[in-house]
């Protein structure tokens, strides 16, 4: 594996961790909650939320109002 590929995997894991919590427990909780009905898209979003940029909603609103694209979060 090249150093660049290794760095890519580190970034992927940071954005989408593949530990037991994300692979087993969250999906099981979603299935259990589905028996109660409700918004399936909301459950899917909960299961795999968009990657965090490290900015709060207020930060993003300020960036948008100023016409800027938020800087990318660095680890």
18 Cβ neighbours under 8 A, 6+ residues apart:
none
- Whether 43 shows a pLDDT value over 60: the answer reads yes
- Averaged pLDDT for residues 51-74: 72
Q: What is this structure's pTM?
A: 0.38
Burial 7-36 (b: 16+ CB within 10 A, else e): eeeeeeeeeeeeeeeeeeeeeeeeeeeeee
Does the pLDDT of residue 72 top 70, yes or no?
A: no
- Residue 45 pLDDT more than 70? yes
User: What's 64's DSSP letter?
Assistant: H
Domain boundaries, the chain: 3-66
């Amino acid at each position: 594996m090249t150093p660049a590929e290794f760095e890519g995997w580190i970034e992927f894991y940071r954005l989408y961790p593949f530990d037991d919590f994300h692979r087993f427990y969250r999906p099981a909780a979603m299935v259990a909650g589905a028996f109660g009905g409700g918004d399936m898209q909301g459950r899917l979003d909960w299961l795999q939320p968009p990657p965090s940029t490290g900015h709060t909603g207020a930060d993003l609103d300020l960036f948008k109002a100023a016409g800027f694209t938020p800087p990318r979060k660095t680890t």
